Chain A
Amino acid sequence: GAVVSQHPSWVICKSGTSVKIECRSLDFQATTMFWYRQFPKQSLMLMATSNEGSKATYEQGVEKDKFLINHASLTLSTLTVTSAHPEDSSFYICSGDPPGQGGGYTFGSGTRLTVV
């Protein structure tokens, strides 16, 4: 099946610094990729939809200047958490929608961000 590779899987950073998370589709071209955030014991919350070669579409309440998304190629999307603060600590997951899965996304393995 389709594979989405996400790195890093775990990162700790100091408050005020920026962190970049990479999401790569390994065996399909991802025109669209989706970024989610998940708090412990909660479901996934869609943050933004990234489209190759254009600006991302952010969900209501998501700060576009804090969560910078770049989708420069059909296989790579990045999420940069700028000026991170402890409240940004969470589990971030990316996904793509490869063909042949009836609308089902393939998710990356997730990135656990801890801001200290």
Chain B
Amino acid sequence: QKEVEQDPGPLSVPEGAIVSLNCTYSNSAFQYFMWYRQYSRKGPELLMYTYSSGNKEDGRFTAQVDKSSKYISLFIRDSQPSDSATYLCAMSAGEYGNKLVFGAGTILRVKS
């Protein structure tokens, strides 16, 4: 069993839809949780980061962490064609100098 599980998709939605991306994990030591967006042939871009359980909102993006269920989510409201990319969840046990463990990435396609 992988430490972090993420459905690779692809996930195809119409423009304006609400997108839900999810990851589950098995290591209870993880405390820091992130979401990255990666366009083809580019390095990943940090979208959201959260510490421990709870919600965090930034514009059209909302990140949720439920440590009791070992489950994290990223919601994208009013999705745009420019949101089409691969979304990677990542997590670590500490804040500095710690390895990030990545999910496999979910390919998202937003159709106009």
Contacts and interface: CB of A to CB of B under 8 A. Distances in A.
Interface string B47-77: 0011100000000000000000000000000
Interface of B: 31-32, 34, 36, 41-46, 49-51, 88, 90, 92, 94-100, 102-105
A93 B43 contact: yes
Contacts of A108: 43
Contact of A43 (B41, B46, B50, B105): B105
Interface of A: 1, 4, 6, 31-32, 34, 42-44, 46, 49, 51, 91, 93, 95, 97, 99, 101-110, 112
A113 to B, nearest CB: 12
B88 A43 contact: yes
The 4 A-B residue pairs with the shortest CB-CB distance in the complex, in nearest-first order? A103-B32, A107-B43, A102-B49, A104-B49
B44 to A, nearest CB: 5
B51 A102 contact: yes
Given A44-B102, A103-B92, A109 B34 contact: no
A99 B103 CA distance: 23
Given A103-B31, A103-B51, 7 more contacts: A31-B97, A43-B105, A104-B32, A104-B49, A106-B46, A107-B45, A107-B46
12 contacts: A31-B96, A32-B96, A43-B104, A44-B102, A101-B49, A103-B49, A104-B32, A104-B46, A108-B43, A109-B43, A110-B41, A110-B43
A101 B46 CA distance: 9
Given A91-B41, A93-B44, A109-B42, A102 B34 contact: yes
Contacts of B45: 107
A35 to B, nearest CB: 12
Contact of B103 (A31, A43, A103): A43
Contacts of A34: 99-100
A107 B44 contact: yes
A74 B92 CA distance: 22
Most chain A Cβ neighbours within 10 Å, of B36, B46, B104:
B46
